[in-house]
Structure 1
Amino acid sequence: MLARSPVLNQSGPTEFVFRMFTAVPQFQALLFLLFLLLYLMIICGNTAIIWVVCSHSSLHTPMYFFLSTLSFVEISYTTVVVPLLLSNVFGARKPISLAGCGAQMFFFLTLGGADCFLLAIMAYDRYVAICHPLHYTLIMTQKLCIQMVACAAALALYVSLQLTSLIFTLPFCGRLREINHFLCDVPPVLRLACADIHVHQTVLYVVSILVLVIPFILISVSYMFIALAILRMRSAEGRSRAFSTCSSHLTVVLLQYGFCALVYLRPQSGASVDKDRQFALIYTFVTPLLNPLIYTLRNKDVKGALRNAIISKSASDTN
């Protein structure tokens, strides 16, 4: 069983506080500004993608529908974590109630799971577009796209609800418990329980396999067929375009699945606690920030639509 913090002899409802990144006021201010800047960039970048896709009929295709949905998930995902993080970085640490911690965990897991499932759906979309281009419009209908997104959201919602409910049936001894993290994630909260957690850890691994391993295997298989199809293309321009689109998606996939796997599938130990928090910073800030950057800088359609929108906006403001 994992080592746990000493039980505090206090009465009253259980509350949690998050461990500080640093106690030095100057560093606190720098971290606050850094996290705030990254958060604003994530919001602005992903909002720009949603706006461009919705306002340009040429981008009303399955690929960009999934991309705008991914951007919405990324905005929601970071919003669940970052405002509370900012409030605890600078100044006195504010306790979070047991119910508040459970709510944050539920929404974090739901949106994180939906993110992973959506990346797998996007890989299938690229597989159909490249390996079966003549049947693409017949296969990837609007109805099917909506159904796949709805199924991804429903599955993520169900899994996160079951896991969160299971975690918070555990007793947490003492009134005020310190979470060695910046959010109410499953591994750090499990370490604070004053009961046997072996069953809960097993369930966590099973859920992690469902959310991380299985979608990643499906993505890998899809890209094996995609790579073979790209190599058979006669047009150098077609190969370059397909490779650019797929490499953008793969970059996001490797970052998201890689660092999540290091947190949820690695055997938990006392030495891994600080690393978990560092890895969580990657998929909380870096991946949602790279999503708009990668898909706009390496996608001619999005760049062209965004450029035209800015030019049109500037012209209308001038007139």
Structure 2
Amino acid sequence: MDAATRELSYAQALQEAMAQAMEADERVFLMGEDIGVYGGAFQVTGDLVHRFGEQRVMDTPIAELGAAGVAVGAALAGSRPVFEFQFSDFATLAMEQIVNQAAKIRFMLGGAVSVPLVMRFPAGSGTGAAAQHSQSLEAWFAHVPGLKVVQPATPHDAKGLLLAAIDDPDPVMVFEHKLLYKMRGPVPVEPYRVPIGKAAILRPGRDLSIVASAIMVHRALEAAETLAREGMDVEVIDLRTLRPMDHETIVASVSRTTRLLCVYEGVKTLGIGTEVAAMIAESEAFDRLDAPIRRLGGAECPIPYNPELERAAVPQVADIVAAARELIRGAV
């Protein structure tokens, strides 16, 4: 690791991205519940209120719909707000502003205005926060034209994608898996951007393509190591961006490996993996498949509070290993 790169946690990488964006552009400001002196529910904002002041790190009332409206209005007026929801679940209270306003205004006004708005969503299960604080709702937002949706899986991508999102002229939804906040990894000191809309092949392979995002990327990589010891060579693709999705990388991968396993935490029905599967079914890769496409998603239930049930409700490493074995060995 060179001097210009050091290890940061995922949360520290996000904080550094916001600080660097605020230093570079006075139009950038932060808003959200308890992000000031408290530093945010997951301590991502940290001490930024002391560095930039309360005018640029703004605590909002417990009123997500109203605060989201302020964020949309500020973006329309020329600012670049970064709005943190305490939990992604609370975005359900602000869907009017996100889906009917932020996503549509540029279209409705013929491109005369834009909405350079970033919304950050701590998402996913694994913290024992139960049904109303543990959902994976990213597919909801990826369904909406006018919104861009990113889901970084590493500290490096967390910083780079957030900086790219802040630069973007359109609203970008950033989904951050809560279990990743403490994960550490190499992050360059200088500002950099990870392109929105570009997936990453984290592990090349020849026998099967696993397409995943967020925490499932790491579970897929762990599963791939187990499978490698059994003589199976698995390719792991990190989507990074859910909308726009990187069709080219995924289609090329599946064309090579001839098998596809989609792994995602959201409920299986109509989830992100469903879109990946449909994309392959409509592409030239379909005729090269040697096995049916397999989706491995969350259970058809709210996330339970009980830790054993919570783990059972979303794919784990053992589930990925079992599904991959079946696809590669043909026992489907």
Give the alignment's TM-score, normalised by structure 1.
0.27
- Rg larger in structure: 1
Larger RCO (CA under 8 A, 6+ residues apart): 1
Select the structure that is richer in strand: 2
Q: From the two aligned structures, give the one with the greater helix fraction.
A: 1
TM-score in terms of structure 2 length: 0.26
